[in-house]
Structure 1
Amino acid sequence: MTDTVLAVLNQPSRHADPHDPSADAYTWAKPLEEHLQVQDLGAIRGDGVFETITVVDGRPQALEPHLARFVRSAAMLDLPEPDVDAWRQAIEAVCARLDPVHEAFAKTVMTRGVEGSGRPTGWVYAAPSGDQSVARTEGIAVVTLDRGYRHDVERTSPWLLQGAKTLSYAVNMAALREAERRGADDALFVSTDGYVLEGTRANLVMAVDGRFVTPRTDIGILAGTTQADVFRFAEGEGIATSYELVTLADLEAADALWLLSSVRQAAPVRSVNGVTRAMDLAMTERINDFLLSREQ
């Protein structure tokens, strides 16, 4: 057992040749040693996709939705189709090998590999999660930032890959740093035509007149696995759910706000652009209890 685990896949896709025809499906590697070739397109161009999966007591949560989104993202980048069986096997093995901790995460990464090789690179890395209790119980401050695209960019400009979970996160990280410069914990993107989109690494859910509302997933945002499970929780509680176009006025009028993501789970929003917001901490606790008890 170990506190960080890395498995490198030999053949991430059945549609591409293995790196070593005689090797196992995956090999164990030391996380802090060098593994990625310097010409790998994931490193030099961000040409790849990833998923981050919550792991609770050694159990990967929402595994099948994460794998399905992994495949969708790869298709949007015209990557070879991930071998879901191989990835599932590697994820489960990595989680089983990790030291017993209550909360951890497993990250799957597939890149196009070295240019011209025809062989994608793939690995699964797992480690314990950081302490998220403050964000979950005291809330987070967010600022709104213009993303620079209209809300219909996914339809008008699919080559911009909005809605794919790619390795090209430089803009997201720049937005997060800008949020921190403004004294906030995270940013919430807004389209140039005034519609609320998503956080830098999270989806938005709003409580509105007894309903749970999230921005539509056809407007260039990533469909969230955690958000989908929160809607499943809500429906089990008799709470109506809806995917809608959300304006800044809608955001301001909402009864409560959460940013939802793997690892952090549900974080209530305590302020937007410096304006204090009401938080439903009792509902937040119920949501997080549900999220942390999910089965695959």
Structure 2
Amino acid sequence: MYLSKINLKAEPEAREKLVSLVHGGIYASHQLLWQLFTTEPQRHFLFRQEQDDGYKVGKGEPFFYVLSKQAPSDDEGFFDIQTKPFHPVLKPGDRLGFTLRVNPTICRQGKRHDVLMDARISWLAQQTAALGSTPVTSQRALKESLLDKATDMHLESWRSLILASDHRDALETCEGRKATLDLVLKVVADQAVKAWWISRLPRLGLAVGAEDVFQCTGYLQHGLTRKSEAARFSSVDLTGQVTVEDPQMFIKEWSAGIGRAKAFGCGLMLIRRI
């Protein structure tokens, strides 16, 4: 395997590709990187897009981490590529720090659901049902109904959930019922993603301990306009620590990518030994 950091050069031709990337939507990054693996029949690679801090490339411009079976090759000279062979040698008990952009979904009755959105809507529905409200399905309608009927006692229970979470510090600057509800929904979503992640670990050959750090940030929903106006997928950035239980299983899953939406920049788990 090869791990690379890639960005476009400052030449005019490369700038044209950057403009196309900016306006090309979620498909454009994969199509751009596809050009670096022309000798591979199926071109298997994982990538993650980031924005640079301006130190080595233009401020705010994208760069990519890429994990591939073949070293990238820039035949046209549009890219700056830093690449190295990357073959982690692991044993049971090794601890890793990681960062992962992932598309967390669950399957229910043959349909896939966004884990975070599903958790929010389920929690809102439970809260509004307990208040005797008429059932609705949209998140906005559920929030409006809950804000309309929730009492101070409910507000205190929301604050208790927040105080028991990593968002407790944000409660100090949280003013009003709506802001408190938005914050507790973040807590609910974070808990759902953490549960989803922990449930997947055995299939990845990994485990977590009580002391291991876990953080969920950067939740985004992306439109897939080429499929239909309604088609969307979500991504979230996970960072934390894990323990290797089955090195062979982990390397197999890691090299294949974690979760879905790999063609859209999800699934590349960046790891370091700790």
The TM-score normalised by the length of structure 2 is 0.28
If each structure's helix is expressed as a fraction of its own residues, which one has the higher value?
2
The TM-score normalised by the length of structure 1 is 0.27
Max radius of gyration: which structure? 2
Larger RCO (alpha carbons 8 Å, 6+ apart): 2
